Amino acid sequence: MPLMNALDTFPVKHANVLRPRSRITVRRSPVHGRGVFATCALVAGELICEYLGERISWDEALLRHPRDPAQPDHTFYFDVGNGTVIDGAIGGNSARWINHACRPNCEAADRDGRIFIRTVNPVPAGEELCIDYALFVEGRHTRLLRKRYACHCGAPDCRGTMLARRGKRSWKEHISAPARELVEDSVHADVATRAAIHIRTTITDTLIDA
């Protein structure tokens, strides 16, 4: 099935019939913490699951962060644009455990404001599912910052970090002035934490011809 048809042939009203646990499982990952793995062979363009969680504004997301002060760089936030974030820590599902890879086998696709995960190439049973987190911050990507968000995906073209390639827009564009002042004055508002609270995963346009 062409990638551009993966969601077009799956109406959102039927999305609740997805049964991700029948094709994926969560277990310890060699990349980082927990991960999501295919329990059977998956074809390219296959719809896997929806990224679920509570939808909140970036203002609220910044106020909630960090959820665990002991792990300030960890978050289940997924930026869906227009100042909206999905907090997978509340009402989330297996999708929140999908790890990063510089050469991912999955991508995120927007369908009527909902985010779905689908494969971009065939995935054999037992392989871990990954997407490109593309974390981004404004300012220099220093060696220390890149190391703090080091990538261990092992891809031949691994860029060595989960940070996005340069040229992405500022995270400040997504939040109101009061919230921006709050985070800039916060003890957690160093550049690395700004990256942690702003996961920007590439969302594809499902209507573009393959």
Q: Three-state SS for 5?
A: helix
Can you tell me which residue has the tokens 């919230």?
Answer: 179
Q: Which residues of the chain have pLDDT under 50?
A: 1-17, 19-20, 170-175, 180-203, 205-210
**Cβ proximity of 86 and 78 under 8 Å:** yes
pLDDT value for 59: 84
The DSSP symbol for 81 reads E
**Cβ proximity of 27 and 57 under 8 Å:** no
pLDDT value for 207: 31
pLDDT value for 52: 93
**What tokens appear for 55 in the block?**
């939808």
Class of domain 3-204: mainly beta
Delimit the domains of the chain by residue range.
Answer: 3-204
Q: What angle do CA 185, 190, 152 make, to 5 degrees?
A: 155
Q: What are phi and psi of 114, to 5 degrees?
A: -110, 145
- CB 2: neighbour CB atoms within 10 A? 11
